[in-house]
A and B are shown apart, each in its own frame.
Chain A
Amino acid sequence: MSDLAAASSLVHARDGTRLKGQEGPRADAVQSIGARPIIMTVIAAFLVFVFLAPILLVIAVSFGEKIEGASWVWAFDPSNYARVFVGIGWPDQITLLYAYKLGYTLAYAVLGSLIAIAFAFPFTYFLSQCSRPAQAAWLVFILASLSMSEVFIVMGWDIMLSNRSGLPALFKATGVTAWLKDTGWLAVLKDWGLANPRNVKFKTSQLATVLTMAYLVWPYAVILLYAPLSRIDRSMIEAARTMGAGSFTVMRTVVVPVVRIPVMGTLLLLFVYLLGAYVTVTYFAEPAHQTLPVSIYEAIRGATLNAPFGAAQAVVLLSTAGVFILASLWLGRLAENRGR
């Protein structure tokens, strides 16, 4: 019997309260014991169902067979997976279109999360050293920025990076474009896909895709890093300073190593989140550099209506995320063991 149930039964016993058809405190206690596990079991079963059922359905559909000109039928056809990795013409012809899409998906997610962490880490570190009111104000602002949806953020960035009304127009008006032309940097930017012969051009580009993705997850990075960074024992930083370490050395040799595990966790979380980024990629990435989530959507809801192939791509994406997470955990453990 739990303490609470016992206390409750005691209170009833002292009050002399009796419910009709029950035999005093013992009956109350029995009732308390029975209800809690039942509620827990029902909720847990529901959660397991809503977690597992979609995954199992997607896996099942991924082996289905597409009927040309119609829908699809249940089957056990692994060709959808083969198509993801080596193309539809395999074994006569190998096409890496979807493998590339997977590559872009991973590259954008890795770069986006790394950039977000690179900006969020020093910001959060200095934020954790600010006064309490300043910290509270910043955290409220960052939490508020989370309320903006991906669509809203992407629309804002779309305007900011557009050739007519965004940064390129500002560059031109302020003479930066002319300076870039004179110094030869515009040609370099053109080689990098960030300019046309007349001006800089951020849309469409991989840089804009990655930067927007990084901005999208930046508030999450700050919130996830805030707790471990504000919990660092400040005397460790001061101890390092008294031993001759400057600010950069303190950051490199004390702060980063101490919070490396939360940083790794944050990185993984952002990475997994960005694997599914859809709107950003459709706005900012060229068709040739688009990702697996866009392809999944097109397969399921787009022109092709090939749900099994979309499902196979989704399973590959999920498995890749799993592999990355396991690899990170393994590497982390390896590093810990080496340190010991």
Chain B
Amino acid sequence: MAGLVLKDVRKTYGEVTALKNIDLVFPSGKLTALLGPSGCGKTTLLRIIAGLETPTRGNLSLNGEDITTLPANRRKFGMVFQSFALFPHLSVGENVAYSLTISGVEKKTRSKRAQELLDLVQMADFQDRRIGQLSGGQRQRVAIARALAQEPQVFLLDEPMSALDAQLRETMQVELRLLQQQLNITTIVVTHDQREAMTMADEIVVMSNGVSEQIGSPTDIYQRPETPFVASFIGKANFLDGTVRGGRVFVGDSAFDLEKPAPFVDGSPVQLVCRPENAELCAADTNASNILTGPVSFVRDVGPTREVFVETDAGRIICEMPSSDATPVTQGEVTGIRLKSHTLFCFPRPDPGNLEKTVEEAGRRENVAA
């Protein structure tokens, strides 16, 4: 169960810091997604794991053995590249058997193994084809089969779906997940597509600016984001600026109760976050708590759901509901929006001066002063 462990991994390129003190554990047999926007350091981290880059600081170990300085060709982690990196001068079968060929496996054995792997990725009849004769999806399957040929302990995929069209991407996400479960191989996927990460991963590492913002299961990450970045990057969210008073959050004159009292000292500027599906339309009542009012500015049906845009004094709130039981509303109509208390998250407002004003830190300061 030790799996792959990264301790205090840091990577700098001159003045630029790509990764800052990454501590991660990739459990054996699980699929972990490194999720984040472009430039967040996720590919750098994957390349460090593959041995294609060396960390500036920190170490990596696999099942207890230090592999920090082990070169890529001795690490032998199977890797699927964003461009698939198939060899155009070799046939499909030769591509798949490449690792076996260079390690001196006899032709009959490697041909048999290549055929088995091509069967696994449903490309059994393509062994003699040239790479140029394959579609994007077929190339991806060949790249997966090739990476698996050497029976790697860790399977790495760098944005494997980015070269595929939307429909094929959906299909391949499911297929890849099923294949990973079938082989029970420790797998790390880099992606910037949150839907892809949530479809495939046992665990998601959300990254931003070279740090891991949150680690957890797809449900945890979605339902309990720990930072405003995670809340905004995973799924959709409404953000409201407010101030804490007596454990409640005030957005203008409207008071909002949370599941637990907000853990900030009175007067702290905070951001209140609510998923659109957790906002519900109600009668306009300015005196009730957890309710904002305003006119409906836009309504749209997006297949199974309907989105209602309401312009409140605190800003625009998007409310999402199933189309089947959507309350009829018309553009311009004034309505109330209830934000359910148990679905609200509260974060310090991202202003450097306000970030330390948590109750805990305020208490510590008081102790120091005393």
Contacts from A to B (Cβ < 8 Å):
233, 235-236, 238-246, 249, 253-254, 257-258, 260, 339-340
Given contact pairs A235-B81, A253-B102, A242 touches B72 in the complex (Cβ within 8 A)? yes
Whether the Cβ atoms of B150 and A238 lie closer than 8 Å is: no
Q: Write out the residue numbers on chain B whose beta carbons fall within 8 Å of the beta carbon of A245.
A: 73, 102
Q: Write out the residue numbers on chain A whose beta carbons fall within 8 Å of the beta carbon of B98.
A: 240, 243, 253
Whether the Cβ atoms of B103 and A244 lie closer than 8 Å is: yes
With both chains docked as a complex, state the minimum distance between the C-beta of A253 and any C-beta of chain B, in angstroms. 6
Whether the Cβ atoms of A243 and B76 lie closer than 8 Å is: yes
Residue of A nearest to B77 (CB): A242
Given contact pairs A235-B82, A254-B87, A241 touches B102 in the complex (Cβ within 8 A)? no
Chain A CB within 8 A of B89 CB:
yes
Residue of B nearest to A254 (CB): B87
Whether the Cβ atoms of A243 and B81 lie closer than 8 Å is: no
Residue of A nearest to B129 (CB): A340
Query: Of B73, B82, B83, B87, which one neighbours A242 at CB under 8 angstroms?
Result: B73
Whether the Cβ atoms of A238 and B52 lie closer than 8 Å is: yes
Chain A CB within 8 A of B134 CB:
no
Bound state CA distance, A249 and B73, in angstroms? 11
**B64-93 residues at the A interface, CB under 8 angstroms:** 71-79, 81-83, 85-91
Q: Write out the residue numbers on chain B whose beta carbons fall within 8 Å of the beta carbon of A233.
A: 83, 85
What are 6 A-B contacts with C-beta separation under 8 Å? Answer: A233-B83, A235-B85, A236-B87, A238-B50, A244-B102, A249-B102
Query: Of A242, A244, A339, which one neighbours B89 at CB under 8 angstroms?
Result: A339
Tally B residues with Cβ within 8 Å of A: 33
Given contact pairs A240-B98, A257-B89, A235 touches B73 in the complex (Cβ within 8 A)? no
Whether the Cβ atoms of A238 and B73 lie closer than 8 Å is: no
Whether the Cβ atoms of B76 and A258 lie closer than 8 Å is: no
Interface of A is mostly: helix
Whether the Cβ atoms of A242 and B102 lie closer than 8 Å is: no
Chain A CB within 8 A of B316 CB:
no
Chain A CB within 8 A of B130 CB:
yes
Q: Write out the residue numbers on chain B whose beta carbons fall within 8 Å of the beta carbon of A254.
A: 87
Among A233, A244, A254, A339, max chain B CB count under 10 A is at A244
Whether the Cβ atoms of A239 and B79 lie closer than 8 Å is: yes
Bound state CA distance, A240 and B99, in angstroms? 8
Chain A CB within 8 A of B51 CB:
yes
Q: Write out the residue numbers on chain B whose beta carbons fall within 8 Å of the beta carbon of A240.
A: 87, 98, 102
Whether the Cβ atoms of A246 and B73 lie closer than 8 Å is: yes
Can you add 15 more A-B contacts, CB < 8 Å, to A240-B98, A241-B51, A244-B103? A233-B83, A238-B50, A238-B85, A239-B81, A239-B85, A240-B102, A242-B72, A242-B73, A243-B149, A254-B87, A257-B90, A258-B87, A258-B89, A260-B89, A339-B89
Bound state CA distance, A235 and B87, in angstroms? 10
Given contact pairs A238-B52, A253-B102, A340-B130, A244 touches B76 in the complex (Cβ within 8 A)? yes
With both chains docked as a complex, state the minimum distance between the C-beta of B184 and any C-beta of chain A, in angstroms. 21
Bound state CA distance, A239 and B139, in angstroms? 14
Bound state CA distance, A246 and B146, in angstroms? 17
Contacts from B to A (Cβ < 8 Å):
50-52, 71-79, 81-83, 85-91, 98-99, 101-103, 130, 146-147, 149-150, 156
With both chains docked as a complex, state the minimum distance between the C-beta of B357 and any C-beta of chain A, in angstroms. 46
Given contact pairs A243-B102, A258-B89, A339-B89, A235 touches B83 in the complex (Cβ within 8 A)? yes
Bound state CA distance, A240 and B76, in angstroms? 10
Residue of A nearest to B158 (CB): A235
Q: Write out the residue numbers on chain A whose beta carbons fall within 8 Å of the beta carbon of B86.
A: 236
Residue of B nearest to A247 (CB): B73
Given contact pairs A241-B72, A242-B73, A236 touches B103 in the complex (Cβ within 8 A)? no
Given contact pairs A243-B146, A249-B102, A340-B130, A238 touches B88 in the complex (Cβ within 8 A)? no
Closest 10 pairs (CB-CB, A-B): A243-B99, A235-B85, A239-B85, A257-B89, A235-B81, A241-B72, A242-B79, A236-B85, A241-B73, A244-B73
Bound state CA distance, A242 and B51, in angstroms? 8
With both chains docked as a complex, state the minimum distance between the C-beta of B78 and any C-beta of chain A, in angstroms. 7
With both chains docked as a complex, state the minimum distance between the C-beta of B110 and any C-beta of chain A, in angstroms. 12
With both chains docked as a complex, state the minimum distance between the C-beta of B217 and any C-beta of chain A, in angstroms. 28
Q: Write out the residue numbers on chain B whose beta carbons fall within 8 Å of the beta carbon of A238.
A: 50, 52, 72, 79, 81, 85
Residue of B nearest to A250 (CB): B73
Q: Write out the residue numbers on chain A whose beta carbons fall within 8 Å of the beta carbon of B102.
A: 240, 243-245, 249, 253
With both chains docked as a complex, state the minimum distance between the C-beta of A138 and any C-beta of chain B, in angstroms. 22
Residue of B nearest to A253 (CB): B102
Q: Write out the residue numbers on chain B whose beta carbons fall within 8 Å of the beta carbon of A339.
A: 89, 91, 130
With both chains docked as a complex, state the minimum distance between the C-beta of B312 and any C-beta of chain A, in angstroms. 49
Residue of A nearest to B98 (CB): A243
Whether the Cβ atoms of B76 and A242 lie closer than 8 Å is: yes
Query: Of B52, B82, B88, B90, which one neighbours A241 at CB under 8 angstroms?
Result: B52
Bound state CA distance, A83 and B350, in angstroms? 92
Given contact pairs A254-B87, A257-B89, A258-B87, A242 touches B78 in the complex (Cβ within 8 A)? yes
With both chains docked as a complex, state the minimum distance between the C-beta of B146 and any C-beta of chain A, in angstroms. 7
Bound state CA distance, A244 and B76, in angstroms? 6
With both chains docked as a complex, state the minimum distance between the C-beta of A262 and any C-beta of chain B, in angstroms. 13
Q: Write out the residue numbers on chain B whose beta carbons fall within 8 Å of the beta carbon of A340.
A: 130
With both chains docked as a complex, state the minimum distance between the C-beta of A340 and any C-beta of chain B, in angstroms. 6
Residue of B nearest to A241 (CB): B72
With both chains docked as a complex, state the minimum distance between the C-beta of A329 and any C-beta of chain B, in angstroms. 18
Residue of A nearest to B130 (CB): A340
With both chains docked as a complex, state the minimum distance between the C-beta of A332 and any C-beta of chain B, in angstroms. 13
Whether the Cβ atoms of B88 and A242 lie closer than 8 Å is: no
Residue of B nearest to A259 (CB): B89
Bound state CA distance, A253 and B73, in angstroms? 14
Q: Write out the residue numbers on chain A whose beta carbons fall within 8 Å of the beta carbon of B74.
A: 244
Residue of A nearest to B99 (CB): A243
Bound state CA distance, A238 and B51, in angstroms? 10
Residue of B nearest to A339 (CB): B89
With both chains docked as a complex, state the minimum distance between the C-beta of B122 and any C-beta of chain A, in angstroms. 22
With both chains docked as a complex, state the minimum distance between the C-beta of A151 and any C-beta of chain B, in angstroms. 42
Whether the Cβ atoms of A244 and B99 lie closer than 8 Å is: yes
Given contact pairs A238-B81, A242-B51, A243-B76, A258 touches B88 in the complex (Cβ within 8 A)? yes
With both chains docked as a complex, state the minimum distance between the C-beta of A228 and any C-beta of chain B, in angstroms. 13
